[in-house]
Each structure stands twice: as structure tokens, then as C-alpha cells.
Amino acid sequence: MLPVRLAVIADIHGNADALRAVLADARVQGAEHVLVNGDVVNRGPDSVEALALLLSRGDVTFILGNHDDLVRLWQGRSETLPGEWFTDPFWGATDWTATELDRAGLLHVPAGWPLTRTLEVPGLPTVLVAHGTPADYRESLSERTDPQRVADLAGGAGVLVGSHIHRPAQAERGGVLILNTGAVGTPMDGDPRAGYLLLTAAPGGWLPELRRVPYDRTGVLRRFGTSGLLATGVSAEIFHDEVLTARSLYTPYWVWTEQGSLPRNAATWAAFRQRVLG
């Protein structure tokens, strides 16, 4: 029988301190199961620790996220990734994470994770959960999603749950409840607290609560340096500053360099950082 109170967590991104804070809060809230909606690893310094912690528990199930997939594709030099990435120093952080997970014997664990999971409780709307959307783990799901797209994605489900955008969201479109969990390890809505979704089955329907959990970021920010991750270069610096500021920096920087046909290196990152952070 499925649990009636479920914690849906995602976008941990190698931040073990935020993960522990969320798991502790979920326990206090009476969550009977934890559904990890992708992106346990990459970006932060604690990918091995975070994944090992979740695997050690008996109350966790997983959905594949794009970063869980990326590190496996990276280590295998997959033809689905642009070949020039493998010699570009900008990807040093991803290479470091893939190597750490491989050494720990954890790199290929996500290979068996499904892209979606469906929750069904008698008398309640079906819940369809995916890291991005059921169609693509990189597609955004939020209050901005077109109503027709919502209907297409739902396929008869009454609740759609996504993650990936690193900010919480809740809306109703055409009778479908849209929920986004927000991010555990790397929120990007200006609020540094770890975020997750608490979903409760009640006689009147599913009751969502988008929770925020404070935690001390000092440790994870320090480990960017002590782990060796920060020494890998620009992308690690960006990931560090995203945890520090709780803002999206990587994607806007990528777009800015693309538009200006600029290299992604220390000089352009310093210029971009000055523009957006001062």
C-alpha cells in the first residue's frame, strides 16, 4: 500500500548538509516515504556522500534526473554529448564528479532508475512524477507551462509533479494540479533554504506543502575548496556561487557567452559575475 504522506525531494546536487536537513524535517513531518525526483549528484562536492546516504535507507525510491544521467554519459564518453566538451576545461567539475562516483562504485547506480513514477491511491487523482516532465527530464514544469502542454503531459493524471527548475511552484491548469518541488541543494529563487514537497493523501484530495528548511551552508561552501572540486575551474566556481547566492548563474552565463560568441573561461566568468553580482 502506498504511503499517505510522501516527501518528494530533488536537485540535491551533491549537497549532503541540505539533504540531511530535509530528511530530518520530512521525518518530523511524518513522511512515510521519500521519493527522490532526480539530480542527486553533480554541481556540489558531496555527490558520493549524498547518493550513499539515500541508498542506505529503506524508505527511498528514485527517478532519473539529467545530472544523474550526465555523469554516466560523461564517463563513458557518450556520442550523445558534444565531442568538444571532453577536452574543454570548462567541464572540469563534471569530470571530477564522474570520477569520484566511479571510484566509489556508484556511477552506474542511476542506470536502473525510471524516468517517471505514478502514484495511485484509491479515490484520489493519479499523481505523475518526473524530474522535468514525463516527456523530457530537461523540460520545465511550472505555473508558466502552457495549459495545452499540461493536458498533453498529464495524459489523464490529476497531479503533475516536476523539479529541475530549482524553484517551487504550484498552479492549476485545466483541472490538473501542477507542483514543482523546488531544490534541496541548490535553490535558485533567492531563498537559500533547502526546499522540498510534502504531499499528503486526504479524503478531499492531495494536499501539497512546499516546505523550506534552513541549514548551515558553511560546511558545503567550505568543502568546495577542501574536496578539490573548486580547483577544477570555472564551472565549479559558478556552482559554488549558486549555493552562496541562491540564484541561477550557470544558465545565464552560458546564454551570455553563446550570444556574444565568447569563450567560457575565468576572464568571461569574472566579467559576467561583476555584471550580475557586482
Give the predicted TM-score (pTM) of the model. 0.96
CA atoms within 13 A on the CB side of 161: 32
Closest CA to 90 of 238, 271, 247, 259: 238
**Cell numbers given for 252:** 545565464
pLDDT digits (tens, 9 = 90+) for 30-82: 999 999 999 999 999 999 999 999 999 999 999 999 999 999 999 999 999 99
The CA distance from 278 to 262, in Å, is 20
Give the list of residues 6+ apart from residue 117 with CB closer than 8 angstroms, or none. Answer: 35, 61, 63, 128, 129, 130
Domain 5-213 has CATH 3.60.21.10: yes
User: Tens digits of per-residue pLDDT, 183-233?
Assistant: 999 999 999 999 999 999 998 899 999 999 999 999 999 999 999 999 999
% of the chain beyond a pLDDT of 70 = 99
Q: Are strands 5-9 and 33-36 parallel, antiparallel or unpaired?
A: parallel
- For CATH 3.60.21.10, the residue range(s) in the chain are 5-213
SS3 call for 128? strand
Amino acid letter, residue 126: T
